[in-house]
Structure 1
Amino acid sequence: MKIKFIGGAGTVTGSKTLIETNGIRILVDCGLFQGLKALRDLNWHPLPVLPSTIDYVLLTHGHLDHCGWLPRLVAQGFTGKIYCTSPTKDVAKLVLLDSAKIQEEEANKANKEHYSKHEKAEPLYTLQQAEAVLPFFKIVPPDISTNIASDIIATYTSAGHIIGACTITLILEGKTLVFSGDIGRDDDVLMFPPTKPLLADYIFLESTYGNRLHPDLDAKKELENYINTTIEHKGTVIIPGFAVERAQSIMYLIWQLKTEGRIPNVPYILDTPMGASVLDIFLQNMQWHKLSANDCHEMCKMFKIVSEYEQTMRIIEDPQPKVIIAASGMATGGRILSYFEHYIGLEKTTVIMVGYQAEGTRGRRLLEGADEIKIYGNYYNVEAKIVQIEGLSAHGDQQDLVNWLSALKNVPKCIYLVHGENLPADELRIKIQDRYGFNCNVPLIGSEIEI
């Protein structure tokens, strides 16, 4: 059996792991590269095998860095099945259509304003190509073994992280392979703790926060302080929110603070059409999260939910203090950039980062203290206060990742640490070896192993 790390190795984006077994090809996740230009350029490169020769895609969850390359895969000849849970199918549909729409809009804007380096800017894929993916989805129930091919059994178990997210256990050639996907936190605001694996010969474990512990701080209290301080100075709070799960977590905490009378009566705005649609997915899948239907409805009443861009412009032009949650979470595209164009240069603005910021993204540059950022070909001075609430990340930290291995009844032959930058992955390798004595390896992108 051969396993090739096409993406999500040495980086937290572009997750793609190719399995070749007995003439069958399986791709675990099919994500988009984000951040550094060298990585983004890989989105335009062909896969090392023809998409038409891939039989199955197994999706761990619906985030863009795990499903965002599917339109390219289908456009280049893939005709197999895409296995995932029901909420993941719904989330992936929203994510892919939103991604295509943003890429089309940005290509049109680049051509209209002539800031592209290319003679004609093209979207990575179109809305039509994103829609072409949808018929290939095949839903699998959680916790029940599914025969995806002769002698290949897949079992999806909850990984926390976001709604529908799962770890995938594959049994093939008499071996048990466990693909963690993104592991959620043991104490997440909305999601249940991830299910730990019991048996595995080989584990492919994410390592996003492999070298960090989430601070033991009250995220709700931090949010309260930042909102109150900013509003007192008649400023605006802008929260780049991942439209799936983080936006809902932040809404939930802000709703709690407002209900408890701890934050002022100003406009609270959710400006991500996809984030609004995800709320419907939460209501349709109550067994996947901690929110009650009543909490969900009451929370939504508090927020002005924006769908049209004309509304975004009216909000931007309104000088009154307000709190805005807008996508995307790493500020790589979407509505958040329109807010940044207007507010990032104002000292009384506070930008609150609430999730992982990959290398090369605007979010990462802001956290690292950039004096200016580039948006749509123009540079903007950064005068806003940039802060981070690490306690709101949807990823488990080093301790969560190490503990996730604690229920294993056997010693795996190897644990491959993926979906992490090299330093965090290597520090997690040392931690796991120190605690369990397990053999660990940090694969390089493009590398291949035989098992």
Structure 2
Amino acid sequence: MKIKFIGGAGTVTGSKTLIESNGTRILVDCGLFQGLKALRKLNWEPLPVPASTIDIVLLTHGHLDHCGWLPRLVDQGFKGKIYCTAPTKAVTELVLLDSAKIQQEEAERANREHYSKHNPAEPLYTLQQAASVFPLFKVVHPNKSIVITNEIDAVFSNAGHIIGACSISVKLEGKTLVFSGDIGRDDDVLMYAPQKPVQGDYLLLESTYGNRIHPAIDPKTELEKYINETIKDNGTVIIPGFAVERAQSIMYLLWELKKEGRIPNVPYILDTPMGASVLNIFLENLKWHKLSADDCHQMCGMFRIISEFEQTMRIIEDPSPKVVLAASGMATGGRVLSYFEHYLGIGKNTVIIVGYQAEGTRGRKLLDGADEIKIYGNYYSVKAKIVQIEGLSAHADQKGLVNWLSDLRSPPKCIYLVHGENQPADELRIKIKEQYGYKCRVALMGTEVEI
């Protein structure tokens, strides 16, 4: 059996792991690379094996860095089944359509304004190519064994993180491989705690926050502080939000703060059409999260939910104080860039960063103190206050990742650390070795292991 790391190794994006066993090829996740240009260029490259030779895709969840390359895979000849949970199917369809729409719009804008070196600029994939993925989905139920082939079966188990997210245990050739996917937090605002594996010969564990411990500060209190300070200065708060789950978590906390009279009576705006659609997925999948249907409806009633871009521009042109939650979470695209163009250069405004920011993304550059940010070929000065609330991350921290291994009944033969930049992954490796004595390695992009 061979395992090849073709994405999500040494980086938190582009997650793809290929398993080859007795003539069967399985791809676990099929994500888009984001951030650094050298990584983004990989999105245009074919896989190391022909897409038509891959039999199955197992999808842990619907974030772009785990599902966003599926249209390219299908376009290059993949015709197999894509196994995932019902919420993941619904989220992935939204995410892929949104991704295709943004790419098409950016290509059209680049061609119109001539700021791309490519002539013409082309989208990575179109809306039609994104939609071609949907007939291949096969919905699975959590904690039930599914037969992949006569010799291979798999079990999906709740990983927290976002709605529908799962770890996947694959049994083949008498061995058990466990793919963590992205592990959520035990104390998440909306998601239930992740299930821990009890057995696994080989584990592939994410390491996004492998060298960090989330602060003990209550994120709700931090939100209250930053909003009140900004509104008092007659400014606007912009929160770049991941449309799936983080947006809903922030909405929930803002709703609680408003009910408790702790934040002012200004407009609260959700400007992410996909985020609004995800709310419907929450209502249709109540067993996957902690909110009741009544909570969902009441929470939504507090927000002005924007769908059309013309509405976005009217909001931007209104100088009155407000709180805006807009995608995308790493500011790599989407509506939040339009707010940045108008609000980043004003000192009384605040940008609140609430999720992980990959290397090379605008969000990471803002956190690193950039004086200016490039958007659609133009540079914009950064005078707004840039703050971060780490307690709103959807990922387990180092302590949570180490704890995820605590129910294993016997030592695994090896743990491979994926989905992390090199330093966090290596620090997690050391911590796992110290705590459990388990053999642990940091996965390297493009490498292959035989087991």
Equivalent residue, structure 2, for 1:445: 445
Equivalent residue, structure 2, for 1:227: 227
Equivalent residue, structure 1, for 2:368: 368
Alignment of 1:329-348 (within 5 A): 329-348=329-348
Deviation (angstroms), 1:287: 0.4
Alignment of 1:11-410 (within 5 A): 11-410=11-410
Which AA in structure 2 matches 1:285? N
Distance 1:112 1:363 in 2: 26
Distance 1:118 1:133 in 2: 27
Distance 1:3 1:221 in 2: 44
Distance 2:18 2:394 in 1: 26
Distance 2:298 2:136 in 1: 36
Cα deviation digits, residues 162-195 of structure 1 (max 9, x gap): 0000000000000000000000001000000000
Deviation (angstroms), 1:202: 0.1
Which AA in structure 2 matches 1:284? E
Distance 1:371 1:317 in 2: 24
Deviation (angstroms), 1:443: 1.5
Cα deviation digits, residues 408-438 of structure 1 (max 9, x gap): 0011000000000000000000000000000
Deviation (angstroms), 1:29: 0.1
CA RMSD in angstroms, aligned pairs only: 0.3
SS at match of 1:212: coil
SS at match of 1:264: coil
Deviation (angstroms), 1:225: 0.4
Deviation (angstroms), 1:119: 1.4
Equivalent residue, structure 2, for 1:8: 8
What percent of counterpart residues are identical? 77
SS at match of 1:95: helix
Distance 2:380 2:445 in 1: 34
SS at match of 2:148: strand
Cα deviation digits, residues 10-66 of structure 1 (max 9, x gap): 000000000000000000000000000000000000100000000000000000000
SS at match of 1:168: strand
- Give the TM-score of the pair, scaled to structure 1: 1.00
Distance 1:296 1:62 in 2: 21
Which AA in structure 1 matches 2:24? I
Distance 2:232 2:181 in 1: 42
SS at match of 2:351: strand
Distance 2:359 2:131 in 1: 30
Cα deviation digits, residues 70-106 of structure 1 (max 9, x gap): 0000001000000000000000000000000000000
Which AA in structure 1 matches 2:211? N
Cα deviation digits, residues 322-351 of structure 1 (max 9, x gap): 000000000000000000000000001100
Distance 1:149 1:232 in 2: 62
Gaps of 5+ in 1: none
Gaps of 5+ in 2: none
Deviation (angstroms), 1:148: 1.0
Distance 2:122 2:248 in 1: 32
Deviation (angstroms), 1:151: 1.2
- Give the TM-score of the pair, scaled to structure 2: 1.00
Structure 1 runs (4+) greater than 6 angstroms displaced: none
Between the two proteins, the alignment pairs up a number of residues equal to: 451
Cα deviation digits, residues 84-138 of structure 1 (max 9, x gap): 0000000000000000000000000000000001111000000000000000000
